[in-house]
Amino acid sequence: MDILQFAFGYFAVVIVACALMVVISRNPVHSALFMLPLFFHVAGIFIMLNAEFVAALQVLVYAGAIMVLFLFVIMLIKSDVEKVRFHLNTMTALPLAVTVGGFIMSVVVRSAFTGAKGTSTVEAVQQAGNSQMIGQAMFSEFLMPFEVTSVILLVAMVGTIVLAKKKID
């Protein structure tokens, strides 16, 4: 068992434990706060996969922006601690989850996971730099989706202001 496998084991255990705590905490503030170590450890997984740019984005966007938004809203509205943790359909949800998870896992175990290899090998990425390689792909091959993304963000901004603004009359 080499050091990378050990690191993966650590990250995976913390991620799964935090995810379970998000689901089973009664207090939504606790749920939101358990997302924070989860995001950081997912960023660690990204670094293990030589994706430094995505790891930085994960920390900035998820742990920085989205979590602050969630905590703001949780504290803005009165959401009390639930008395019943799981609801009536726990008995249906759990077998369903076991089935779905088992199905996904069986596909995962059986797949060979081979495909056409690209040109961005680890050496090439390390030589050019991760951000630069992503930028090249984003502004050549994915230019149109990139522009559409900016429109999505604009629509989200306008929509959020319209939805959350108090009516003045």
Partner 1 sequence: MVPLSWYIGLSAALFTIGIVGVLIRRNVIVVFLCIELMLNSVNVALVSFSHYLDSMRGQVFVFFIMAVAAAEAAIGLAIIISVFRNRETVDTSDINLMKW
Q: Considering beta carbons, is residue 127 or 138 the nearer one to partner 1?
A: 138
Residue pair 42/15 in contact (Cβ under 8 Å)? The answer is yes
**Minimum distance from residue 59 beta carbon to partner 1 (Å):** 11
**Identity of the residue, 121 or 127, whose beta carbon is nearer to partner 1 in the bound complex:** 121
**In the bound complex, what is the minimum distance in angstroms from residue 150's beta carbon to partner 1?**
8
Both tokens of residue 103? 């199905």
Distance of closest approach, residue 127 Cβ to partner 1, in angstroms? 14
For residue 82 the two structure tokens come to 């639930």
Of 78 and 168, nearer to partner 1 (C-beta) is 78
- Report the residue number, 109 or 168, with the smaller CB distance to partner 1: 109
Q: Which of 7, 55, 59 is nearest to 35 (CA)?
A: 59
| CA-wise closest residue to 46 among 137, 132, 130 | 130
Distance CA(34)–CA(152), nearest Å, equals 28
Q: How far is the CB of 149 from partner 1 (least distance, A)?
A: 5
